[in-house]
């Protein structure tokens, strides 16, 4: 899907006390989300962190699996990690996408909690993706979720993935895969 992008945000996110924090990168997040993006045809996967050392770490991981031994031993994984782009702010990512596609960039927030000024279902978003050429940036959080200051700036917010009962503590990796499947398959 040429007009679909994914972003994993490490700041601003919240901790268990709903305080705004910055979270550390998780190697597994980069691998699993890159593989999901490759599987479902996402144009690019942005890893966003304000910390230079964390961006360096992300670059090391990507370099190992795209140019280094990891990529030679596992070409499938290399293909997936080649989807990764590393950035320091959401604004930077929006600017890069706008420059790359010359289309409006629609930010779509996600959360396990209902909310957002423009909630959409996965089916509605899937329809948007097929009828407009706008770039859609699906934004996922880390830690205990995206801070409200970021969610409130999103143009749309995807309806939460509902479980069978009250327990709702999916990993971000699971949430990405579930949404991407719903956005690309019947
Ligand atoms: N309680 C947090 C919240 O409300 O988003 C869950 C944080 S989870 C560890 C990290 C990220 O995974 C969230 O920022 C969101 O992007 C995604 N996520 C987790 N569960 C989700 C759900 N049920 N529906 C939608 N997104 C979810």
pLDDT tens digits for range 112-165: 998 887 899 999 999 999 999 999 999 999 999 999 999 999 999 999 999 888
**Number of other CB atoms surrounding residue 77 within 10 Å:** 17
Q: Which atom of ligand 1 is nearest to the CA of 163?
A: 23
Contact between 158 and 125 under an 8 Å Cβ cutoff? The reply is yes
Q: Would you state the pLDDT for residue 165?
A: 86
Q: How many angstroms separate the alpha carbon of residue 82 from the centre of ligand 1? A: 25
CA neighbor of 155 nearest in space, from 113, 109, 112 = 109
CA–CA separation, 170 and 163 (whole Å): 9
Q: How far is the CA of 73 from the centre of ligand 1 (A)?
A: 33
Q: Cβ-count burial of 7 within 10 angstroms (0-12 exposed, 13-18 middle, 19+ buried)?
A: buried
Across the range 52-58, mean pLDDT stands at 98
Report how far Cα 71 is from the mean position of its chain's Cα atoms.
23
- Ligand 1 pocket test, pick from 12, 13, 112 with the greatest ligand atom count within 8 Å of Cβ, gives 112
Against a cut of 0.75, is the pTM above it? Answer: yes
Q: 140 with 36: CB under 8 angstroms? A: no
- Decide: 136 and 5 in contact? Cβ < 8 Å: yes
Atom nearest to 142 CA in ligand 1: 10
Query: Of all atoms in ligand 1, which is nearest to the CA of residue 160?
Result: 24
pLDDT at 186 over 80: no
Distance from the CA of 86 to the center of ligand 1, in angstroms? 21
Largest CA distance in the chain: 46
Among the atoms of ligand 1, which is closest to the Cα of residue 170?
A: 20
Distance of alpha carbon 37 from alpha carbon 31, whole angstroms: 10
Give nearest CA residue, ligand 1 atom 15.
111
Mutate to test the pocket of ligand 1, among 141, 159, 180, 182 (most ligand atoms within 8 A of CB): 141
H-helix or E-strand spanning residue 4: strand 4-9
């Amino acid at each position: 899907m040429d007009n679909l992008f994914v972003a994993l945000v490490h700041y601003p996110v919240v901790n268990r006390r709903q305080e705004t924090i910055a979270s550390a990168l998780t190697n597994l997040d980069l691998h699993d989300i890159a593989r999901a993006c490759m599987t479902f045809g996402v144009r690019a996967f942005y890893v966003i962190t304000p910390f230079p050392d964390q961006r360096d770490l992300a670059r090391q991981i990507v370099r190992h699996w795209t140019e280094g031994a990891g990529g030679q031993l596992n070409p499938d994984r290399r293909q997936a990690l080649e989807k990764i782009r590393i950035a320091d702010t959401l604004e930077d990512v929006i600017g890069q996408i706008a420059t790359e596609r010359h289309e409006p960039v629609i930010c779509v927030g996600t959360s396990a909690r209902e909310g957002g000024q423009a909630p959409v279902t996965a089916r509605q978003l899937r329809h948007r993706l097929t009828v407009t050429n706008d770039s859609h940036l699906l934004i996922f959080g880390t830690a205990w979720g995206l801070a409200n200051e970021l969610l409130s700036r999103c143009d749309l917010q995807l309806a939460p993935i509902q479980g069978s009962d009250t327990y709702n503590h999916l990993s971000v990796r699971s949430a990405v895969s579930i949404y991407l499947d719903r956005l690309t398959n019947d």
